Structure 1
Amino acid sequence: MKTNNNLLIALILMAIFGIANAGDTTAVKQMQYWSDKAGSSGNSEKGRVFFTSTHGKEWSCSSCHGNPPINQGKHASTNKPIDPLAPSSNPDAFIDQAKSDKWFRRNCNDVLGRECQPQEKADVLAYLISLKK
């Protein structure tokens, strides 16, 4: 009986922490975090220019996410559908810090050949937050 109780407690804790972790942030909180790291507020116009420009590689952020990224995008080489990136169009965008960090790291490397700087992340988030569906 004790083993069943321990299993039940473990499952309850996993459910609680799994749910809490899945929605641990917002796009606005992430923009503020990166703005604080950069020492300057995110700028939506700079974010728009960054998002739509190529940076030494052949892709821009908009190559896959669209311009503006309020509709479903499509990966430039695999054609795999990509959910809208703007929080106004996708309530699940930027609500999981670990997932956001992973995709910033991966996508920045694809577009820039390096990780994005804190100011670049703050600017892109400011741009994405400014978009209306």
Structure 2
Amino acid sequence: MKRFSSLSLVLAALACGLSPLAQAITPAEQLAGYTAQAGAPAQPTRGQQLFTTQHGKKWSCSSCHTATPTVDGKHASTGKVIAPLAPAFNPERFADTAKTEKWFRRNCKDVMGRECTPAEKSDVLAWLLTLKR
């Protein structure tokens, strides 16, 4: 019985730890999270402006993702093809919180020289969600 109890605890712990990874998240759910963290509603027009403007570095988000990220982009220095960023044109975008955070962190540092704020993330994502087929 003790053996069964220990095994049950281990399996329960694993299930709890893995369940968030197994759950799909939608771009709208991620937007709601960033908006809550920002404490203010997202502003899509501000997101588009942030996306297309250079910020202290020589790049903008649109340098690689194009000004209308509904088509493939290309990395500005490596030339690597980048799939569309807008979720309506690429359902894999913003479907995994860890990936979203990884790429926001990396790309914001490349473009702005710092991490993006939750408000900036919510604004950009809100704008990307306005781009429809």
Q: If the length of structure 2 is used for normalisation, what is the TM-score?
A: 0.83
1:1-133 → structure 2 map (5 Å cutoff): 17=18, 21=21, 24-133=24-133
Partner residue in 2 for 1:7: none
Identity %: 51
Amino acid at match of 2:49: V
CA distance in 1, matches of 2:44, 2:113: 23
Amino acid at match of 1:129: L
CA distance in 2, matches of 1:35, 1:96: 17
- Residues 22 and 96 in structure 1, CA contact (< 8 A), matched pair in contact too: no
**Aligned CA distance change for structure 1 residues 59 and 39 (closer, same or farther; 3 Å):** same
* Structure 1 residue ranges without an equivalent (≥5): 1-9
- Residues 58 and 111 in structure 1, CA contact (< 8 A), matched pair in contact too: yes
**Aligned CA distance change for structure 1 residues 92 and 48 (closer, same or farther; 3 Å):** same
CA RMSD of aligned residues (A): 1.9
CA distance in 1, matches of 2:26, 2:52: 23
* Structure 2 residue ranges without an equivalent (≥5): 1-10
CA deviation vs aligned residue, 1:27-69 (integer Å, no higher than 9, x gap): 1111110110010111110000000001100000000001100
| SS at 1:100 equivalent | helix
CA distance in 2, matches of 1:79, 1:120: 26
| SS at 1:67 equivalent | coil
CA deviation vs aligned residue, 1:92-114 (integer Å, no higher than 9, x gap): 10000001000000000000000
User: Structure 1 residue runs of 4+, over 3 Å off?
Assistant: none
| SS at 1:90 equivalent | coil
CA distance in 2, matches of 1:98, 1:26: 13
How many residues align structurally? 120
Q: If the length of structure 1 is used for normalisation, what is the TM-score?
A: 0.83
Amino acid at match of 2:80: K
